A and B are shown apart, each in its own frame.
Chain A
């Protein structure tokens, strides 16, 4: 073989080799891409089914307290013409501050027949109780208390004993004990707390809060309009009273 033809053979071999490599690259790219898309679709489907699975569970387990108002998501105090909606989480320290500052004044407005106070117990701080989901448990317990006509007493007692954020929260036994101290002595209350009878209801109440595009607690709404202090702070009793007077006309 002459030198020239050997060179040509080498060159041809190299070209074939390069083509084979390029072919392999194309095949690998195609199938790895298919694999990536498949993995991401599966991941998405897992997330989707977890959400819809939880939705289904909420719907089947839903027990709405008979005394609840506002699509069964709140408990009313008083029956005045102006509606004041309070969205609070039992784990939220700012809610406790708000309660100490404004609760008495708001109850007076309700007693005087000026407003209907609607307490929405939402549970957006479940992550702040080391996995014991204190927000949801306490909200469910409040529903059980409401069912026995003791919502406000129980609500106030829970705030008086508010656990630290990122602690385990109050145990069910402690919640039942608090109930007893304000006259909730029935087995029904204790059973409802231990069985988590109103867990699904607490989820629904929280979702209603979110669906109304509220994000934080406490949220105070007077006749459908959210009331806030300067720079989105929690409003003072004065500000709320002004909004009530304005709404009353």
Chain B
């Protein structure tokens, strides 16, 4: 039987990561869901896709973010939701790198409605990427050690939680 301290501590660390990542998605989605037109403009500001496509992405994205947040919060298929989170985060970071290299002056629209920056406001691409790397680390913890406390996964697997 494995009863070292390490194996007892990991589920708790993973639980923190799970709740943290859930909060990230819930907040990110909540800041956009009230104004989908603005969310569409934030996607459009990256100039990666046509406005019609941006409109669809801008509409779908906040709902996906909230969906992921809820799924992580209740702990359903944690490894899969962490993997999907990681994929999304990588896509977002790629978008920021693109905006950076193209010299666009935009707000990343990560936790806001984004859009073009006013005069005198600086872009914060480096910080945005660092922050996303932090979130990616949370997803990484869950991918590596998906067993967490207080999760539906745990209840269904018949583990004491």
Contact = CB atoms under 8 A, between A and B. Distances in A.
Interface string A225-249: 0000101111000000000000000
Chain B interface size band reads: 35 or more
A54 B44 contact: no
B37 A47 contact: no
A173 interface: no
Contact of A127 (B34, B52, B119): B34
Contact of A46 (B41, B63, B70, B118): B63
A216 B38 CA distance: 12
Interface stretch (A33-41, A60-68, A138-146, A153-161): A33-41
Interface in A198-237: 203, 206-207, 210-211, 213, 215-216, 229, 231-234
Contacts of B62: 47
Contact of B119 (A24, A32, A215, A231): A231
B157 A28 contact: yes
Interface of B is mostly: helix
A32 B152 contact: yes
B51 A211 contact: yes
Contact of B64 (A43, A94, A211, A233): A43
Contacts of B81: 36
Interface string B66-80: 111011000011001
B113 A210 contact: no
B74 to A, nearest CB: 10
A43 B116 contact: no
Contacts of B45: 215
Interface in B56-102: 56, 58-64, 66-68, 70-71, 76-77, 80-81, 84
Contacts of B9: none
Nearest to A124: B41
Interface of A is mostly: helix
B152 to A, nearest CB: 7
A169 to B, nearest CB: 15
A50 B36 contact: yes
Interface string B113-126: 10111111000000
Contacts of B60: 43-44, 47-48, 51
Nearest to B151: A32
Contacts of B64: 40, 43-44, 47
B115 A215 contact: yes
Contacts of B52: 211
A32 B153 contact: yes
Given A127-B113, A215-B44, A215-B45, A234 B119 contact: yes
A215 B40 CA distance: 11
A194 B144 CA distance: 58
> B38, B41, B51, B77 — which one has the most chain A CB atoms within 10 A of its CB?
B77
B106 interface: yes
A39 B64 CA distance: 9
A32 B76 contact: yes
A33 B59 contact: no
17 contacts: A32-B152, A32-B153, A40-B84, A124-B41, A126-B38, A127-B35, A210-B40, A210-B41, A210-B54, A213-B44, A213-B47, A215-B106, A215-B116, A229-B119, A231-B120, A232-B105, A234-B119
Closest CB pairs A-B (n = 5): A51-B59, A43-B67, A215-B116, A47-B63, A216-B116
